[in-house]
Chain A
Amino acid sequence: MIRTRHGIMLLAPLALVLVGFFLVPVIMMLPTSFREYQPGLGLAPGTWTLENYTQIVTDDYYREVISRTLGLGLLVTLACLLLGYPVAYLIARGPDRWRVPLILLVVFPMMLNLVVRSFGWIALLANHGLVNNLLIELGLISSPLKLMFNLTGLMIGLTHIYLPFMVLMLVVAIRNVPRDVEAAAAVLGSTRVHVFAAVTLPLSAPGILAGSILVFVLTISALVTPRMLGGPTYKVMATLIYDEYMQLLDWPSGSALSFALTFMAVGVIWLSSRLTKRWAGMA
């Protein structure tokens, strides 16, 4: 066992870096979020207001962006789960010699730059992109499908980017399900499908939850891909915050939105860790 004193020493370097370069700047942003914005001037001197926060809840546009962000998070998480579980199952339970090639295949996209991959999707999904041209050539559609600057485009791009995270989490979870317990169910009369539904799936639930949290939090805070595939008009919270800061110079609003996003992410993590505890308590 590591003693408390030694534990603190091991933790100290990272803790100092995080406090100095992450926590302190974030806290410095807190006062900004209560300041008033004056177009052209930036921060109005000497005035304090709660409006930056209240408008997030009351303003229709902000509300739309927030619900879009959360909806996108849920859909991307769900898509990653549905696409990722079968692959993870194959990697965890398939022939040994397939394992390394399959994991490499899953991880390979992560070795390419995010911007490059997002550009790739633009080339594929644009009105005169590869996909639309192909479908028109084949005579399946007459006018191009709208695959970008909307939910479809963001879902495709983000699911592609975060799928590896989900798969890697699920592989670990599925490998942790004891084979004997599955065999026990089979001998007791379960078909393969029932073994999966009654044993494998519930016992890999902690991994499903962990992967889902990860993908959800990454999705709602993603900036580059939504920026490139969403364009200037179809915004999510991260791109909205970016624009508030960099284009409108509305720092108060941007800070308030940042805190709202942080709050939502922390809330999701907290909620699901409670869920995990309840499940783990049962299992």
Chain B
Amino acid sequence: MSSLTFERLGKSYGAAVVVSDVSLTIRQGEFVSLLGPSGCGKTTILRMVAGLVEPDRGRIVIGEEDVTALPPNRRGLGLVFQSYALFPHLTVFENVAFGLRRRKVVGAELDKRVREALALVRLDAFGARYPRQLSGGQQQRVAIARALAPRPRVLLFDEPLSNLDAQLRDEMQIELKRLQRGLGITTLFVTHDQSEALSMSDRVGVMAQGVMQQFATPEDIYHRPATGFVASFIGKPNRLAGKVASRHGAGGSVRLGDGLILPAAQIGAAEGATVDVVIRQEAVGLNGGPVENAALRGVVALRSFNGARVQYVVRLDHGIELVAEAASGGANSALTIGSEVSLSIDPRSIFATPAEVAS
């Protein structure tokens, strides 16, 4: 187990810059996610760490060792692929034993360590099977056991849960997190799924177009997005076009639609500028009942129930529409289409960014 450091890591294919001077340090035992839309360079970074892609610029340091020029087999890492990438012609036992055999572990010690690794992922009884005889979730657990067995210095995950169905994914998230905590292994986790990244990580790096937008704790990423991209990428955003009405420190107020003025916590443009305004759905509060004294009023245009939450599309008087959420079974979970509601919006969840940056 070691720390992992990138120093000004960069990669281009022809004229396309895939990763642009990314620097960060993952502390020993830390769980760090790289989060971003596909093509943002996160997987390229992971493959550079693994030694599968050669960086054009910068250094990769594991612990105290500069591994930038080492081939993958001499980096002492574990890598879990989205496709699992198990050896189809080998049994589960031999899959897990593969890395150990490469490290000259043999006999009783080999047997013991394979069993330990399989026990960690609760597949003790499956050693004799072939990968094709396992379900997707089981295959993924074999892949994790295979990566863990040689006791790697750093564990890398490349979208490991994307091929699993939703329920299994939630279970695996918890299981993975527990495993990582228990072993205290330095982990780099690449994903495009923000809930995965936010819930599992000690720190999250949000990337867009090869550039690290923000590297911070999940709470900071969510509540204090550093760039417009992060604000609009994280959470479930309402995206609206508007103008900056006034500036006040980091924030101020924005004008939406035909004259609705809302306070905003973060504004990245000067007064009068055209901006994209992001309002988190979860920050929009709804109230049925009397609306006469409400500052903000609207009419329910659409209701959709998705189990734990109810989503409403609300048309405001000012000619704009907002999506808002209410807890299922709560006081405002049964508003009918056409009913009048009052709205309250938490200004800390309103962000405005210059219009051209919109993604």
B72 contacts A180, CB within 8 Å?
no
Segment at the interface with A among B83-91, B179-187, B325-333, B341-349: B83-91
Determine which of B79, B86, B130 lies in contact with A187 in the assembled complex, contact meaning CB atoms within 8 Å. B79
Q: Does B42 reach chain A (CB closer than 8 Å)?
A: no
Q: Does B126 reach chain A (CB closer than 8 Å)?
A: no
B89 contacts A187, CB within 8 Å?
no
Q: Does A133 reach chain B (CB closer than 8 Å)?
A: no
- 1/0 per position for A161-199, CB-CB distance to B under 8 A? 000000000000000001011011111111110100011
- In the bound assembly, the distance between CA atoms of A180 and B160 in angstroms comes to 13
B73 contacts A181, CB within 8 Å?
no
- In the bound assembly, the distance between CA atoms of A182 and B103 in angstroms comes to 17
Q: Does B71 reach chain A (CB closer than 8 Å)?
A: yes
Nearest CB to that of B73 among chain A residues? A189
Q: Does B299 reach chain A (CB closer than 8 Å)?
A: no
Q: Does A202 reach chain B (CB closer than 8 Å)?
A: yes
- 1/0 per position for B113-144, CB-CB distance to A under 8 A? 00000000000000000101000000000000
Chain B residues lying within 8 Å of A185, measured Cβ to Cβ, are 87, 98
B89 contacts A189, CB within 8 Å?
no
B102 contacts A188, CB within 8 Å?
yes
Scoring A183, A184, A279 by chain B CB atoms within 10 A of each residue's CB, the highest score goes to: A184
B85 contacts A189, CB within 8 Å?
no
Q: Does B78 reach chain A (CB closer than 8 Å)?
A: yes
Q: Does A203 reach chain B (CB closer than 8 Å)?
A: yes
A181 contacts B85, CB within 8 Å?
yes
Chain B residues lying within 8 Å of A28, measured Cβ to Cβ, are none
Check A188/B89 contact, CB under 8 A, given A180-B83, A183-B52, A282-B130: no
- 1/0 per position for B69-99, CB-CB distance to A under 8 A? 0011111011101010111110000000011
A189 contacts B99, CB within 8 Å?
yes
B85 contacts A186, CB within 8 Å?
no
B83 contacts A186, CB within 8 Å?
no
B85 contacts A183, CB within 8 Å?
yes
Nearest CB to that of A182 among chain B residues? B85
> Number of A residues whose C-beta is below 8 Å from B?
21
- In the bound assembly, the distance between CA atoms of A183 and B179 in angstroms comes to 24
Q: Does B256 reach chain A (CB closer than 8 Å)?
A: no
Determine which of A180, A191, A203, A282 lies in contact with B73 in the assembled complex, contact meaning CB atoms within 8 Å. A191
Check A188/B88 contact, CB under 8 A, given A180-B81, A183-B50: no
Check A184/B79 contact, CB under 8 A, given A190-B102, A191-B73: yes
A188 contacts B146, CB within 8 Å?
yes
Nearest CB to that of A203 among chain B residues? B89
Interface residues on B, range: 20 to 34
Check A189/B87 contact, CB under 8 A, given A180-B81, A183-B72, A282-B130: no
A183 contacts B98, CB within 8 Å?
no
A188 contacts B86, CB within 8 Å?
no
A132 → chain B closest CB, angstroms: 47
A194 → chain B closest CB, angstroms: 8
Q: Does A283 reach chain B (CB closer than 8 Å)?
A: yes
Nearest CB to that of A183 among chain B residues? B52
A188 contacts B52, CB within 8 Å?
no
- In the bound assembly, the distance between CA atoms of A183 and B143 in angstroms comes to 13
- In the bound assembly, the distance between CA atoms of A199 and B132 in angstroms comes to 16
- In the bound assembly, the distance between CA atoms of A185 and B74 in angstroms comes to 12
Q: Does B263 reach chain A (CB closer than 8 Å)?
A: no
Chain A residues lying within 8 Å of B83, measured Cβ to Cβ, are 178, 180
- In the bound assembly, the distance between CA atoms of A191 and B52 in angstroms comes to 13
- In the bound assembly, the distance between CA atoms of A133 and B175 in angstroms comes to 75
Nearest CB to that of B75 among chain A residues? A187
- In the bound assembly, the distance between CA atoms of A183 and B87 in angstroms comes to 11
Check A180/B89 contact, CB under 8 A, given A187-B75, A187-B78, A282-B130: no
Determine which of B52, B88, B102 lies in contact with A189 in the assembled complex, contact meaning CB atoms within 8 Å. B102
- In the bound assembly, the distance between CA atoms of A192 and B71 in angstroms comes to 9
A99 → chain B closest CB, angstroms: 18
Q: Does B150 reach chain A (CB closer than 8 Å)?
A: yes
A188 contacts B99, CB within 8 Å?
yes
B244 → chain A closest CB, angstroms: 48
A186 contacts B89, CB within 8 Å?
no
Scoring A186, A198, A279 by chain B CB atoms within 10 A of each residue's CB, the highest score goes to: A186
- In the bound assembly, the distance between CA atoms of A198 and B87 in angstroms comes to 9
A264 → chain B closest CB, angstroms: 30
Please give the residue numbers on chain B whose beta carbons come within 8 Å of chain A beta carbons, in ascending order: 50-52, 71-75, 77-79, 81, 83, 85-89, 98-99, 102-103, 130, 132, 146-147, 150
Instruction: Identify 25 residue pairs between A and B in the complex whose beta-carbon atoms are under 8 Å apart, listed by A's number.
Output: A178-B85, A180-B81, A180-B83, A180-B85, A181-B85, A183-B50, A183-B81, A184-B81, A184-B87, A185-B87, A186-B71, A186-B72, A187-B50, A187-B52, A187-B72, A188-B99, A188-B102, A188-B147, A189-B102, A191-B71, A192-B71, A199-B87, A202-B89, A203-B88, A283-B132
Q: A184-B85, A187-B78, A188-B73 are in contact. List 13 more A-B contacts (CB 8 A).
A: A178-B83, A178-B85, A181-B85, A181-B87, A184-B146, A185-B98, A187-B51, A188-B146, A190-B73, A198-B87, A202-B89, A283-B89, A283-B130
Please give the residue numbers on chain A whose beta carbons come within 8 Å of chain B beta carbons, in ascending order: 178, 180-181, 183-192, 194, 198-199, 202-203, 279, 282-283
The 10 closest A-B pairs by CB, nearest first: A189-B102, A188-B99, A180-B85, A184-B85, A186-B72, A187-B79, A283-B89, A181-B85, A283-B88, A189-B73
